[in-house]
Amino acid sequence: MELAVCSSNRMMDSFYDWEVPSEFADPIYCYLVHGWKPGSFFTAVLANDFVSAMGCSHPGNSVNALKSLANWLVNVMPKQAWGSYTAVNNWCDSTTESQRREILERHRLIFSRKEEVWLILKDGVDNKTYQGEL
């Protein structure tokens, strides 16, 4: 799905607000927006299988980073996109781009197309923008 910068920033700002590091935010962003299959670590995290996640975690991942991601999942992540391996597989394999967009809009992770156009025409986006990489 193609998003305006203001929508990308909105989602990335949510990660920033929960102190999720960009190394975690970027793959989750690509999973949610594009339906890309995450690697084994993120698949386990999204499936709420933290035992498996820890088993395949990169040695550089910190407990604080995992706690931030877990808090973001519980408080922000659409329920349709996480909680079990079935949910993760369905998000990637069965959820269409338009369905993903509708869910992300409903959860206020991105702006609606109408809001995107309005913000572009206004030449204004949220004052703060995510500083990480996409």
The CA–CA distances, whole Å, from 19 to 13, 14, 126 equal 9, 9, 18
Structural domain contains residue 128? no
Provide mean pLDDT across the span 92-107. 96
Total-model pTM:
0.86
Structural domain contains residue 58? yes
- The predicted-structure confidence for 14-73, as pLDDT tens digits, reads as follows 999 999 999 999 999 999 999 999 999 999 999 999 899 999 998 889 999 999 999 999
**49, 39 contact by CB (below 8 A):** no
Structural domain contains residue 11? no
Backbone angles phi, psi at 59, to 5 degrees: -60, -25
Structural domain contains residue 14? no
Structural domain contains residue 127? no
Structural domain contains residue 76? yes
Structural domain contains residue 88? yes
| 124 pLDDT tier (thresholds 50, 70, 90) | low
Structural domain contains residue 8? no
Mean pLDDT across the chain, nearest whole number?
A: 90
Can you tell me the distance from the alpha carbon of 17 to that of 23, in angstroms, rounded to the nearest whole number? 15
Domains in the chain, number = 1
Would you give the distance in Å from CA 14 to the centre of its chain?
Answer: 9
Which domain covers residue 56, as residue numbers? Answer: 19-102
